[in-house]
Amino acid sequence: MRVITIITKDRWIFMKNKFGSVLLGIFFLIIGVGFAGEAFNLWNFEPFFNGWWTLFIIVPCIASMMQNGINTGNAIGLLIGVVMLLSAQNIVSWAAISRLILPSVFIILGLSIIFRGFFSRGFNKTFTANASGIPEYFAFLSGNDVRINNERFIGANINAIFGGVELDLRNSVIDGDAVINATAIFGGIDILVPAGINVKTSGLPLFGGAANRCGSALPNSPTLYINYTAMFGGVEIK
């Protein structure tokens, strides 16, 4: 008798999130075991090839893609890591890199807009922050202050790469659950929420993190779900 296993959407998202965390955990586990074996003269462990440090950018970005889906932030982070690795290996010169940075950023932004919603992961609610009409706020080597006044808010995508984004929702109208996908790579994101809103976070921190400084809300209040990736950066909700 043939048994068919049905994987629900919730289960599939859980598996994706778990796999991204497992990948990152295996990466650090290998490094730790390698150095431990080297310390006890069990084997020779030499991970320090030219550009080895770029793995701390590349691997977390890949893990973020598996956990939260492909977005502008982790795509640009992966591109930066790969380019730095190629440069350290003398495969690509810095002169060529400097000419390709701006075109690459626009290409990734364009692809992100075109394929938005095809690779979304994270909190699974009635809608996700990759739905049609959801705004995207971006900062690259700059700052971006956004204030939403007297408008209904249902979600947003926020990406800060070597820059900062502040999203002020204190005067917005949040009458239902909302989802924010936030990616901070060598940058920072501040999210200011109105009183009486529940906030739940889920994400991938690496040499960074997220801080939820919001107070408690009523049990039946709307919930703001925040999927974050913080790599050498931070996300603060207050």
| Domain definitions of the chain by residue range | 11-114, 136-237
Secondary structure (3-state) at 26? helix
Alpha helix (H) residue ranges in 40-93:
55-68, 72-88
pLDDT of residue 170: 92
Q: Tell me how far apart the alpha carbons of residues 195 and 214 are, in angstroms, rounded to a whole number.
A: 8
Would you say 209 and 164 are in contact if contact means Cβ atoms under 8 Å apart?
no
Would you say 223 and 238 are in contact if contact means Cβ atoms under 8 Å apart?
no
Q: Tell me how far apart the alpha carbons of residues 187 and 203 are, in angstroms, rounded to a whole number.
A: 16
User: Mean pLDDT over residues 61-86, rounded?
Assistant: 78
SS3 content of the chain, % helix, strand, coil (to 5): 35, 25, 35
Average pLDDT, the chain: 76
Cβ-defined contacts of 102-107 (< 8 Å, 24+): 104/79, 105/76, 105/140
Would you say 116 and 138 are in contact if contact means Cβ atoms under 8 Å apart?
no
pLDDT of residue 120: 47
Q: Tell me how far apart the alpha carbons of residues 142 and 184 are, in angstroms, rounded to a whole number.
A: 13
**Weakest-pLDDT range from 88-97, 152-161, 192-201:** 88-97
Using CA atoms of 66, 71, 77, 81 in order, give the dihedral in degrees to the nearest 10: 50
- Stronger pLDDT, 46 or 82, i.e. the higher one: 82
Single pTM value for the model: 0.57
Q: Which residue has the tokens 């701006």?
A: 102
Q: What's the pLDDT tens digit per position in 80-131? A: 888 888 888 888 887 777 777 777 767 766 665 565 544 444 444 433 444 4
